[in-house]
A and B are shown apart, each in its own frame.
Chain A
């Protein structure tokens, strides 16, 4: 079985490193970061923290090196989905391609380039320590299900879930994985931009009543949109916010890290996604729209001198 991981940052590396442990799986890691690619090819890919893995996926920044694969796992930032899948589409002519990215809207883009798509959501998080070395910060499950307009077969989804679980990434195959995706989406859209705009770690933000109220307002809009779409959430995102306060009090949201480094954020796939699906279902989402505009404003401020 051949699998190509598209986008080999922190999350992509977790998938590539684990899968490459399996003897009968050939793993290709595609990324545009040549230093990371060279390091993997020279010394293998190493995971530390929550995982302790050292394995040897094949890495490249040139899509024409990669043979035809049965599966793809797209793990780029949602900003780069189109460019990444466009350049690797030839690898996936007869493949089931899974997204494990943040937000919503990635499946729709991937479906323009490949025959079958898997809607995936993953909870583990990590960060790149140095080329060839990723630290896994948190564990958690991964959920896979068909993307209905262009679905992979359940047999394919179950096979991928089985192999991922076997490699150490606990994965569930589901007929409908939207509940997991939207639970994470709503949580991320309500917490990530708040961190980016205020500079506050998650727990500290939760302890400010005026800030916590904004988070709850954002959650409520997301839940209303999910309800209107007929999605049953896995759990109450507002309770997840409290849970994260307990277990990740000092965690700086990834979007805050993006803001500190002045990198473009994933706001369009998070709050922007909730706004777009809200429009489709006739559910008003004024707070998510406000936050989307504020983050885009903040990104614009980085292009100015003052």
Chain B
């Protein structure tokens, strides 16, 4: 197994920038970008990491994958909605690389596998950051990234272990699993439920998400929907790493201040508020697809999936309305 000497990050949002900014302290860090200005600034100024880390990392950036040479590790850190375009751009390049995907939800590995023969590592991350500019990211939540060989065309355990060690040496937190699906599915069930309900109701993660006294209480819906998701996971033979309902209760009870005014705004809610396409196909939609494959019912997921698709469609309506 070749040692990792260079890494290429695709998708330099908050998560991608955190990886590039940290890993560049150990190996050569490269970033595949889409804008000339982004390329120029990263090459000139490098990447500054503030917050939980204090780093100034040189970066080699380009809009052309050919200019980035060979790397041993590619990290695709785009949103799930942009993975296909990212994988297309990588197609035909980096023949010796392993690809690690760190999206929310399920199914991004399958998309990547269609565009190249790279061995794949499935990763999920719990860290968070704020991208202040093209060249400055703030490291906020210093929680772990979990990785394991993809259940499809997976990278070797040794390679996965090496990537985890590299991430840790660079100052981030990581943990390698032989099978990351129990963790991936815990997060999938949790996110599919709270994200879609938050987006449909325009509510961030407030205490009501865990309140279940009456039939129409939001927490009852969260509970029932998570139960559905848990049944889909169980039917796959996956034993969840963490109970999604307990994750939900924990998330609403020990916020920074315990105050609903500081409730977490889900990424899907943020997307809906900005009228950006959401990741619903990789979250709630992924559970619907898996349930259909297994022939088990998931009516509440189907309902929330339909509602979010309807919300996305309504923006198109507005555009048409403006044109006519």
Contact = CB atoms under 8 A, between A and B. Distances in A.
B220 interface: yes
A204 B316 CA distance: 11
Q: How large is the interface on A (under 10, 10 to 19, 20 to 34, 35 or more residues)?
A: 35 or more
B89 interface: no
B302 A214 contact: yes
B238 interface: no
Q: How large is the interface on B (under 10, 10 to 19, 20 to 34, 35 or more residues)?
A: 20 to 34
A306 interface: yes
Contacts of A301: 201-203
A61 to B, nearest CB: 32
Interface string A178-208: 0000000000000000100111110011001
A275 interface: yes
The SS class assigned to the B binding surface is helix
Interface string B13-34: 0000000000000000000000
A248 interface: no
Contact of B305 (A199, A210, A298): A210
B195 to A, nearest CB: 14
A257 interface: no
A85 interface: no
Instruction: Name which of A201, A286, A290 has the most chain B CB atoms within 10 A of its CB.
Output: A290
Contacts of B300: 286-287, 290
B197 A297 contact: yes
Contacts of B216: 268, 272, 275, 289, 292-293, 296
Contact of B317 (A204, A272, A275): A204
A210 B302 CA distance: 8
Contacts of A205: 310
Nearest to B313: A208
B1 interface: no
Interface in A281-301: 286-287, 289-294, 296-298, 300-301
A290 B224 contact: yes
B299 A204 contact: no
A286 B299 contact: yes
A304 B216 CA distance: 19
Contacts of A304: 203
A197 B200 contact: yes
A211 interface: yes
A243 interface: no
Instruction: Name which of B215, B216, B300, B304 has the most chain A CB atoms within 10 A of its CB.
Output: B216
B310 A197 contact: yes
A80 interface: no
A136 B309 CA distance: 33
A257 B309 CA distance: 20
A262 B114 CA distance: 46
Interface in B170-221: 197, 200-204, 208, 215-218, 220-221
Contacts of B201: 294, 297-298, 300-301
7 contacts: A214-B303, A217-B302, A289-B216, A289-B220, A298-B202, A300-B203, A305-B261
Given A197-B311, A293-B215, 5 more contacts: A199-B311, A204-B317, A210-B302, A287-B303, A293-B217
